[in-house]
Structure 1
Amino acid sequence: MTKVKYIRVSTIEQNTSRQEINSNEFSKIYIEKASGAIKFEERVEGAKLLNDIEKGNITEIHIASLDRLGRSILNLLTMIEYFNSKSINLFVENIGMYSMINGKPNPTFKMIASVLGNVAEMERTNMLERQRAGIELAKLQGKYKGRLYGSRMTDEEFLKKYKKVEVELRNGESLRRAAKLGGVSLGVAQRVKRLM
């Protein structure tokens, strides 16, 4: 194994086909469905990829865009440094650039990675800020139905409360369909699936 591809989407429902268009070019493809906020090494497929690197099975990694590695600038730059230390060339498809040239780190790549990494991190911060602002507005308008302080359910209570969603999922329904049939949000259906 030499050339591999790492694909990541944030949620279970998201489609990876856009990132898989050139998959026949690679010895192995790692498909991850996890938030970019989770450190690369703490993700299931990320850990498998790192394990394959340690075994000496990889020389080149392709990703669709830098934010597939992560949305934390620190984690992103740490991963790039790690790949460089192992002489693994990282190719980012949307900018058409390699992290190394003739076995040496590409300084232009590092500069662009820093800029794009900061943009990705800022994007995530802004998204969370908009979410918080939306919740505050909903509270002011009396529309927010968030959880009361100290009212967190146990996993068993949660599954019992959303038994209908669990039944639909066990019957083979998709997450969206099970959420609709159970009259709950997609987030609730995802948690039910995780707890099953």
Structure 2
Amino acid sequence: MLVGYARTSTLDQVAGFEDQIEHLNRLGVEKVFSEQVSAVGHRPQLDACLDFVRDGDTLIVTRLDRLCRSTAHFCEVFDRLERKGAAIRVIDLGIDTSSPTGRMVAEIVVAVAAFERRLLLERQRVGIAVAKAEGRYKGRAPTARRRFAEVIELRQAGVLPGEIAARLGISRSSVFRALREAKVAA
């Protein structure tokens, strides 16, 4: 069975969304899962799609970025489909894992992406080491720690820790840490 997945990030991307669905239908897809949500958020239709496919099925997407948000995510989806005996076809890249060549291309894409990620992390480590040696690297300032004075002020005004956390957008544990460090009663 041919199964399709279509996605756009926002509801106002109507033309792109409809184009994906039309393209999948022209390819003879029998079941289309579609949603208009960000790639970084929860995608219930993608989960449903991956649960739905079974041995011998092919999942078709028009573009890889409609399916996966990162290389690691592609590896996860690729592995999940492979364990189920299903293939994946990515139209814009010409990848079709139902053939030995297509499977090899997908594995190469995954391997190259993992290699690029390792190189990026190594360059980042080197850059941080150089910046530290030159005294320029201080790391990210903890967000909650910058708000400790406000925590103390609100608590002294009688605001409860849970409300302080909600107002300042920090965790309750950060509120209690600030109060503890300032020796203010919770």
TM range (shorter): 0.5 to 0.7
Q: Tell me the residue number matched to 1:50.
A: 50
In the aligned structure 2, how far is the partner of 1:114 from the partner of 1:96?
Answer: 17
Which runs of structure 2 are paired with 1:59-78 in the superposition (5 Å)? 59-78=57-76
Q: Tell me the residue number matched to 1:107.
A: 104
| Alignment equivalent of 1:29, drawn from 28, 32, 37 | 32
Which runs of structure 2 are paired with 1:5-20 in the superposition (5 Å)? 5-15=4-14, 16-20=17-21
**Is contact 2:9-2:39 (8 Å) kept?**
yes
Equivalenced residues, count: 117
In the aligned structure 2, how far is the partner of 1:52 from the partner of 1:97?
Answer: 21
Query: Structure 2-normalised TM-score?
Result: 0.53
SS in 1 for 2:5: strand
Q: Tell me the residue number matched to 2:81.
A: 83
Structure 1, unaligned runs of 5 or more: 123-148, 153-196
Q: Tell me the residue number matched to 1:194.
A: none
SS in 2 for 1:7: strand
Q: Tell me the residue number matched to 1:168.
A: none
Between Structure 1 and Structure 2, whose CA radius of gyration is higher?
2
Q: How far 1:50 sits from its partner (Å)?
A: 2.4
Q: How far 1:100 sits from its partner (Å)?
A: 3.4
**Is contact 2:5-2:33 (8 Å) kept?**
yes
Structure 2, unaligned runs of 5 or more: 121-165, 170-186
Q: Which amino acid in 2 is paired with 1:30?
A: F
Q: How far 1:73 sits from its partner (Å)?
A: 2.0
Q: Which amino acid in 2 is paired with 1:44?
A: P
Query: CA RMSD, aligned part only?
Result: 3.0
**Is contact 2:60-2:88 (8 Å) kept?**
yes
Q: How far 1:8 sits from its partner (Å)?
A: 0.8
Query: Structure 1-normalised TM-score?
Result: 0.51
Q: Tell me the residue number matched to 1:135.
A: none
Which runs of structure 2 are paired with 1:184-195 in the superposition (5 Å)? none
In the aligned structure 2, how far is the partner of 1:13 from the partner of 1:43?
Answer: 18
Q: Which amino acid in 2 is paired with 1:43?
A: R
Q: How far 1:115 sits from its partner (Å)?
A: 4.7
SS in 2 for 1:36: coil
Q: How far 1:63 sits from its partner (Å)?
A: 0.4
SS in 2 for 1:106: helix
